[in-house]
Structure 1
Amino acid sequence: MANFITYRNQGATRNRPLDEDLIKRLAYLQDLGIQMEVFSGGQPGKDEGGARVGSTRHDHGHAADAFFYKDGRKLDWANEQDRPIFEEIVRRGKQAGVTGFGAGDGYMQAGSMHIGMGNPGVWGAGGKGDNAPDWLRAAYNGAAGGKPDVVAEVVAAANKPEPASPQMPILGQAQASAQPQPKPEEPKSNNGILVQAFNKLTGSNVQVPDKIFGAEIDDINKGFAGLGDFAKTITENDQSINNQIQASARAASGNRNVTPVELQMLSSFQPMSKKKRKGALSGLGGYFV
């Protein structure tokens, strides 16, 4: 038997003790230094037979009508000095999971209070919620919800599926975002310097295709490069070729003072109007070629 509860209900219709679960929820009264005197306790259920009265809240000891004492003095909610204690009983009771409170003028005995389980709510005279005193309603509505069912919590936690692990932690995503990303490869252009200059000057976007007449542009460029190398080689050696021709011509003419033919390679690209006759050799006109 809890030492903070005293039973004075032996001659009452509800003469049974309180349920152990309710007693555990009311254990906070010890912390407040309050003694509870029960004058109406538990009773049998409706279908069990035996004396009973009123609603089902008192069935099986799930509620009590009681007086409260502190330091040996009986408390009364009508006393303004005691009222804060009653308000704290209600607040702490709701936090502990106690759901029903009744008190006020015209309800039971002066200074007494109903406390226990059942549908959540407060009430006053006639058991009506509208008649609940203001202090009772304010204390109940301002309190946090009651204690959850520990067993139900454990079962719910055991059956709760684990959340799927993210593909990449947030930190990993941030690190990945911070890593330098490779620059996308720019599309290959076949444009040469002249085409690029033309585009820049005219604001055009002319692009040399990958193929011309079915031939790959890279192969065509290689062919032109080969011709250029050949022309360069011929140009670099045209003086040597001319020297050899002149030497051969002098030898054939007996070293006479003649002006032999000089060859000039295509690299000079001089117009025909600017080419000069260099003289004759064996009846042949000498021209720059």
Structure 2
Amino acid sequence: MLGLQATRAHAQVMVGSTRLDVVSDGSLTLPGSFIFDPMPKNELLPILARYGQSPDTLTPPCNVTLMRQGDRTILFDVGSGPGFSPNTGVILNSLDALGVAPEDITDVVFTHAHPDHLWGLLDDFDDPLFANASYMIGKAEWEYWMNPNTVDDIGEARASFAVGARRRLEMIEDQISFFNDGDEIIGGVAARATFGHTPGHMAFEVRDGSEAVMILGDSIGNDHIAFARPQWHSGSDQDPETAAATRVSLMDQLTLEKTRVIGFHLTGNGVGHVEKGTDGYTFVNEG
């Protein structure tokens, strides 16, 4: 049975016997220009007004997915830790509310290596916070962030992302394994290449028979303009053209298959589904 239970602390989705809890790592505060700069302003502003979204400031939630399957307790991304943004870094409190301690995590799976998804990896002493976990990341994503040229190629605005990612990934180099598009990384969990936001970004389909949930990461990065105009280039994406093509493909698939989604930066708890209308797509929040 595919069900949803929402509380103030989290949302819970069941896919067969697999339990997915969506827990908060807080929220970001970003300038609107971070996403909106490449977009045509005369078309953008009416759409944002329709969604009640300010063009000047974005405050997206950070929704981390916790999966429990048999004797495995799996995190998809680890949040940003306390040092990245003032309103983030609360994942440990959110896990504690579910009775989950850092040492209970058996596996960590990364969608990508941006700060709000990776920098929560280390504790206050720069040791891996999830001490008993094994780690998994897409092979292309690992190769990109571990490449010594990335810090120079990524651009000045994101150079700190490259430095921070490589330092943290080096800390778990002996405990990490890699996967590619289509690989079943855990029973019933398939990796889906959703490149563009980063060069090796991955989403994950959790499936039991006809029931499925797609953990999106940042492949669909907000609940307004990414749905209304998925084909537009976004300033948040490292490869805007590829990311736009990824969004368009995902929207079509998710609408056709009526797949429920969990989005890291989608409104509320990030749980919902996609509907196609007469003017783009819409995220229908179920959390």
TM range (shorter): under 0.3
Structure (1/2) with the larger strand percentage: 2
TM-score (norm 2): 0.24
Which has the bigger relative contact order, CA under 8 A and spacing at least 6?
2
TM-score (norm 1): 0.24
**Which structure is larger by alpha-carbon Rg, 1 or 2?**
1
